[in-house]
């Protein structure tokens, strides 16, 4: 499961060195069985794009990425002849490369990455796109049915919790921005969860800022299946809890799931319970060690 982050890291490093970046739609493509899906790779900084070799990789859980094909100036080359009836690729305009997958079935589930070898001062670096996840399901996609921001003050900090509920499929992009610039410091994003296997997904992301930033307007932005929405923090609809601390906010029913529970534990570790927890951990460790010696 570390491969997608590593690919993203390679992409970022290569972009910084070569000024080349490949953009892909990160949200999922959902289709029924026996249909065709297409995904685009938008290239920036590649000279003579029509003559460039663009590679496509497929990566499934617990396996390394596998190259499917690459498209050059005039033809597509396949790593396995069996792929010819399944995959095809084409270039559009000056910077778009498309991968098409035919007769989709459950075996096609995975993340698909475009890539490009680029020379920088005599060295070749492979630039990867961010990847597009393909989900094969008979269930129709549905955008979030509810989204809101909770706000709470704790000591000299303000925490904004952005809830996005009841959407399908689970792939969703959530970011925080201020003055149209993405905020990455003190941002935590949980994993999407289901209360039951039949229910749709929900997710939470939270931003912590200094109390003196109370008058600043932040936005929680999400993108799901091509739909984008921004929620501002400085609105009457934002739910505020002045008298509750962070632990109380995280005890709400919406956050009694695995992701929020982990963050709740982290908050406890940062609170006055820190020394008590460490004390009990030490006692348990000493007891186990003592029994080990006796054995």
In total, the chain counts a number of residues equal to 295
pLDDT of 136 > 60? The answer is: yes
Residues facing residue 174 across a β-bridge: 222
pLDDT digits (tens, 9 = 90+) for 274-283: 455 555 555 5
Neighbours of 93 (CB within 10 A): 9
The predicted pLDDT at position 253 comes to 43
Q: Cα–Cα distances in Å, from 20 out to 32, 41, 57, 118, 275?
A: 34, 13, 18, 8, 49
Angle between helix axes 258-270 and 274-294 (nearest 10 degrees) is: 100
% of the chain residues with pLDDT over 90: 43
Return the exposure string of 262-280: e unless at least 16 CB atoms fall within 10 Å of the residue's CB, then b. Answer: ebbeebbeeeeeeeeeeee
- pLDDT tens digit sequence for 175-216: 999 988 999 999 998 889 987 877 899 999 999 999 999 889
What is the pairing mode between strands 29-31 and 132-136?
A: parallel
Q: Which of 152, 148, 162, 150 is nearest to 244 (CA)?
A: 152
Q: Both ends of the chain: CA-CA distance in Å?
A: 39
Structure tokens at 101: 């997958």
Strands (E) in the chain, as ranges, are 21-24, 29-31, 37-44, 54-59, 66-71, 76-78, 87-92, 96-101, 110-120, 123-128, 132-136, 146-154, 157-167, 173-178, 181-183, 187-189, 201-210, 219-224, 227-232, 239-241
Choose between 288 and 63: higher pLDDT: 63
In 10 A of CB 159, how many CB atoms? Answer: 21
Give the pLDDT band of residue 113 (cuts 50, 70, 90).
very high
Token pair of 127, please? 């630039």
CA distance 295 to 292: 5
| pLDDT of res. 14 | 42
Q: Find the DSSP H helices in the chain.
A: 3-18, 246-249, 258-270, 274-294
Tens digit of pLDDT for each residue in 36-89?
Answer: 889 999 999 898 899 999 999 999 988 999 999 999 998 999 999 999 999 999
At 212, list the tokens. Answer: 């003196």
What phi and psi, each to the nearest 5 degrees, are found at residue 29?
A: -110, 120
What rounded mean pLDDT belongs to the chain?
78
| 8 A C-beta contact, residue 213 and residue 162 | no
pLDDT score, position 199? 83
pLDDT tens per residue, range 1-23:
445 444 544 444 444 444 789 99
């Amino acid at each position: 499961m570390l491969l997608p982050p590593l690919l993203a890291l390679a992409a970022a490093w290569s972009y910084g060195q070569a000024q080349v970046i490949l953009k892909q739609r990160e949200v999922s493509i959902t289709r029924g069985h026996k249909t065709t899906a297409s995904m685009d790779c938008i290239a920036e900084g590649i000279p003579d794009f029509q003559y460039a070799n663009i590679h496509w990789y497929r990566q499934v859980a617990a396996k390394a990425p596998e190259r499917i094909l690459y498209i050059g100036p005039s033809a597509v080359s396949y790593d396995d002849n069996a792929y010819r009836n399944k995959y095809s690729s084409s270039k559009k305009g000056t910077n778009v490369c498309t991968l098409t997958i035919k007769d989709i079935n459950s075996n096609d589930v995975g993340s698909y990455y475009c890539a490009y070898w680029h020379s920088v001062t005599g060295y070749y670096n492979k630039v990867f796109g961010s990847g597009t996840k393909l989900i094969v399901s008979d269930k129709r996609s549905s955008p979030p049915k509810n989204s809101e921001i909770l706000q709470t003050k704790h000591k000299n900090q303000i925490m904004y919790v952005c809830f996005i509920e009841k959407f399908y499929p689970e792939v969703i992009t959530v970011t925080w921005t201020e003055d149209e610039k993405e905020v990455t410091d003190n941002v935590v994003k949980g994993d999407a969860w289901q209360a039951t296997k039949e229910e749709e997904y929900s997710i939470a992301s939270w931003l912590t800022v200094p109390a003196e930033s109370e008058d600043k307007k932040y936005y929680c932005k999400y993108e799901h299946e091509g739909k984008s929405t921004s929620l501002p923090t400085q609105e009457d609809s934002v739910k505020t809890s002045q008298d509750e601390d962070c632990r109380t906010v995280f005890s709400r029913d919406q956050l009694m799931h695995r992701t929020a529970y982990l963050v709740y534990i982290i908050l406890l570790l940062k609170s006055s319970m820190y020394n008590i927890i460490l004390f009990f951990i030490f006692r348990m460790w000493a007891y186990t060690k003592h029994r080990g010696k006796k054995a």
